[in-house]
Structure 1
Amino acid sequence: MEAGTNRMEGIIEEMVNEANHCNIFGKLNLMIAVPDKLYNPICIPVSDLRPISNMDKLLDYQDFMGWKIRRALGMRYPNINRNQDYRSLDLRALAQDRRNLTGPALKNIINRVLDEPVQDIPDDDDLPMMCYLIGLYMSTKFPTSYIRKIQIDAISHTCTLSNAYSDKIYTKNGGSWRQINENGTVTQLLKDQLV
């Protein structure tokens, strides 16, 4: 909460850029958008081979995000209410509080990318980053059907976001990002989904 939307933008961008190189969307999603999905190890990347329980890995992810926030704010330790009964906290409510902060930050980042000047040549390096941002934003917007997997196709310049129920395909064409169906027909501009 102390980071606020503006600082969260910078923190999220840094985390997405780091994750982009490691292909760890699920780990990022558990930190930023769906920290309450504790019992779904499908999102824990196979590359995280440490011999500890999934719950301990999830706690590590939250600690890592806390460290990123403290570093960005120049805080040594978080401000903690010593009188708080932590056993009474509702994880779903805390997760929604996080989404209330990270969702607008993600929306601002995506809008900033969409407002950048159009390049004639598709930038393959930006494709994974934008796919991650869209996936994270959709997970904050629809946490019950959060994005579990992202497939990036550099040849067709598309990314497919998969939740437990369906797939959504996004592509950049003529400088604008849009959702398309399997036939390539535009269903909606991404800008219109950022409400």
Structure 2
Amino acid sequence: MHKALADRIPVQPRPDLRFVLRDATDTIHQRMHRHPGYARAADGSIGRGAYRNLLARSFGFYAPVEPLAGMNGQASARLVNDLLLLGLSREAIAALPQCPPLAIGGTMPERLGAAYVLAGAALGGQVMARALPRTFPTRFLSGDGIEAGRWRGFVQTLEATCTGVDQRAAATRAAITTFTTFERWMDRWGDTDAE
């Protein structure tokens, strides 16, 4: 190609990785919005027993996945707190089924791809928490009130760490795997309001 012509062709900036991950997981994300438990929690129509079951199943995902994603376990701790307030004993919580290990590898980009799913869910949980009855414990969903600040810090780390094509691809694969595993895991959440 003639150099003068090549100089006139605009170079498209590479999209931020968070947008790549958002687009790669959007179909799964939309399906999770329609998940019967999360949809009813979001509109405030979920019963207490079904809510307990939803959180119990969520704990079975978060407890093994948070450490794998390099997270500090705060979401799992909040889930334990809420489940105790919903009537489960510590022994019953410890005996809850747990998700099999994610097949994502242990590199930093893969950990960040998995963390992207959990960090994004924390932001969405705050919206859900506001719709629930005031008598429901919502520490897990509402977080500790600083998720937006954590999200900004997470995005900066994600973008600064995953700069190469291979790193971005690894993070994307891990995000898709994490979200797909979460969706499958939550299919068997025990939709019942029985106490």
Q: Establish whether TM, by shorter chain, passes 0.5.
A: no
Larger radius of gyration: 2
Bigger strand fraction: 1
Q: TM-score, normalised by structure 2?
A: 0.29
Q: TM-score, normalised by structure 1?
A: 0.29
Q: Which gives a bigger RCO, structure 1 or 2 (Cα 8 Å, sep 6+)?
A: 2
